[in-house]
Amino acid sequence: MERTYVMVKPDGVQRGLVGEILSRIEKRGLKLAALRMNVMDEAIAKEHYKEHSERPFFASLVEYVTSGPSVSMVVEGKDSIKIMRAVNGATNPVEAVPGTIRGDFSIETGRNVVHASDAPESAEREIALHFEESEITGYTRIDEGQLYE
């Protein structure tokens, strides 16, 4: 099983979308392995988005993700990284198709509601940045026998 790091960003929390987003993830068949709400520390946010540190939007991006509580999670399942990227939709909501979280609930790239790791290396790095291994649970969903061939 593959793990990925997913976040409901502060705009998603303040717009009351946490339940909707968790529901979409669960209904898809992915497993919530860890879940937490907190205000992300500025140093953690800078580390999380370090690949964008030279970009003009870096300061406003760090300000955005630390501006209020966000919901961090570890999501688990076969191909969870690619599936969560598809569930979230394109980075720019203008290009995000309806049916995706960004395509249904957002307008601008700078307020695009959700994050999900984009590759196995970033998933591993982001999970380790935001969670202790002891916070990540292990259990069986009762529908796993039907979700997987």
Return binding residues for ATP: 9, 57, 85, 91, 102, 112
Chosen residue from 26, 42, 99, 110 binding ligand IDP by CB under 6 A: 110
Do 76 and 31 contact (CB within 8 A), yes or no? yes
* Bind-site residues: 9, 57, 85, 91, 102, 112
CA atoms within 13 A on the CB side of 72: 24
Instruction: Give the residue carrying structure tokens 């898809």.
Output: 28
Walk across the sheet containing 31-38 and list its strands.
31-38, 70-77, 2-8, 114-116
Rounded to whole angstroms, the Cα distance separating 21 from 23 reads: 5
Chosen residue from 20, 28, 86, 109 binding ligand IDP by CB under 6 A: 109
CB 25, min distance to ligand IDP, A: 16
Letters for 53-92 (x = contact with ligand IDP by CB under 6 A, - = none) are ----x---x-----------------------------x-
Q: Which of 48, 52, 115, 130 is catalytic?
A: 115
